[in-house]
Amino acid sequence: MIQLLGQGFADCETPYEESRFVLFGAPFDGTTSFKPGTRFGPRAIREMSYNFESFIPEFDLDLGDLLVHDMGDLDLGVVPDEAVDQVAELAGQISSDGKIPVMLGGEHSVSIGSVRGVRPEVAVICDAHLDLRDEYRGSKYNHGCAARRIFEEGVRDIVIIGARSGTPDQYEFARNVTLYSADKVRELGIAEVIRKVDEFVGRRRLYLSVDADVIDCCATPGLGTPEPFGLQPLDIRTVVMAFAGRASGFDYVEVCPCDQGQTACVATSLIRLFIAAHWAFGAPPA
């Protein structure tokens, strides 16, 4: 039989009803403050997905067997809070159907919607930036407000890993969250940070959000707001593999494909590893 390639994320062809994981894109970059282009993130990630073997050796699993459905991209408006509402509605639907939403950003503001839909008890956010502004450039749904909105909307237990940028006001507000700065991660080592976060999370319902700029911009330069002296791709791989098993939702945001593909390549690989690790370690949905 002649085999044709699909349009979606490679090897994710399970129908929605039978799926355990549901991928969707949120191609929104309306509040970008520096370099625009994260709206093209989902497209770059899907394109890169055809680079990889379907077999994932770390878990001895084939992605094609893991019941993943790719819904395509949301058609988002330009008003930030409305885009966030659209994301929340879809993520909430996927979550209430007992499936794990896996969102491809888009800028970080879309995570506010996904977290609202999933309703976790704890959020672990990997980011170069604190994203704890209450309001920025006229919107409370600016990408620089992502962690703050998640907090204000009721997820009071937030862990931020890898931060190295913020205003004095944001560092002040950061006393309300658990912060492991990039320098702190280097001091303690990622394994010790994971041990501490693991203790904090316990058996609670978790949401995991990765802002691509948590990784050092010298390694993955396809970013809207690059920052040097960050974490390494392997550090974030360790974080994703450690927490995927108990995550009720996941996103990888802020991929701005203006580089040679490094940023989308790391993102795509980590999305695959999230799914495989969740399959290997996670409880099947009730």
Contacting range for Mn ion; rule: CB under 5 A; set: 21-29, 90-98, 127-135, 278-286: 127-135
Which segments of 32-73 are extended strands (E)? Answer: 55-56, 61-62, 68-73
Nearest to 238 by CA among 199, 171, 185: 185
251 sits near Mn ion (criterion: CB under 5 A)? no
Question: CB of residue 44 vs Mn ion: minimum separation in angstroms?
Answer: 17
148 sits near Mn ion (criterion: CB under 5 A)? no
Question: CB of residue 36 vs Mn ion: minimum separation in angstroms?
Answer: 15
Question: CB of residue 178 vs Mn ion: minimum separation in angstroms?
Answer: 17
Question: CB of residue 186 vs Mn ion: minimum separation in angstroms?
Answer: 18
Nearer to Mn ion, 194 or 253 (CB): 253
Nearer to Mn ion, 12 or 87 (CB): 87
Report the C-alpha gap between 149 and 132 in whole angstroms: 8
Nearest to 113 by CA among 205, 261, 212, 249: 249
Contacting range for Mn ion; rule: CB under 5 A; set: 6-14, 105-113, 184-192, 267-275: 105-113
Can you tell me which of 29, 213, 216, 235 binds Mn ion, judged by CB under 5 A?
A: 213
Can you tell me which of 29, 127, 216, 251 binds Mn ion, judged by CB under 5 A?
A: 127
Distance spanning both ends of the chain, measured CA to CA? 37
Residues contacting 265, CB < 8 A, separation 6+: 48, 51
Question: CB of residue 225 vs Mn ion: minimum separation in angstroms?
Answer: 6
Nearer to Mn ion, 11 or 213 (CB): 213
Residues 136/154, Cβ–Cβ less than 8 Å? no
Q: Please give the full DSSP string across 118-132, using - where no structure is assigned.
A: H--SEEEEE-SB---
Percentages helix, strand, coil for the chain (3-state, rounded to 5) are 45, 20, 35
Report the C-alpha gap between 41 and 108 in whole angstroms: 12
Contacting range for Mn ion; rule: CB under 5 A; set: 51-59, 130-138, 150-158, 237-245: 130-138
20 sits near Mn ion (criterion: CB under 5 A)? no
> Where does this chain bind Mn ion (CB under 5 A)?
108, 127-129, 131, 211, 213
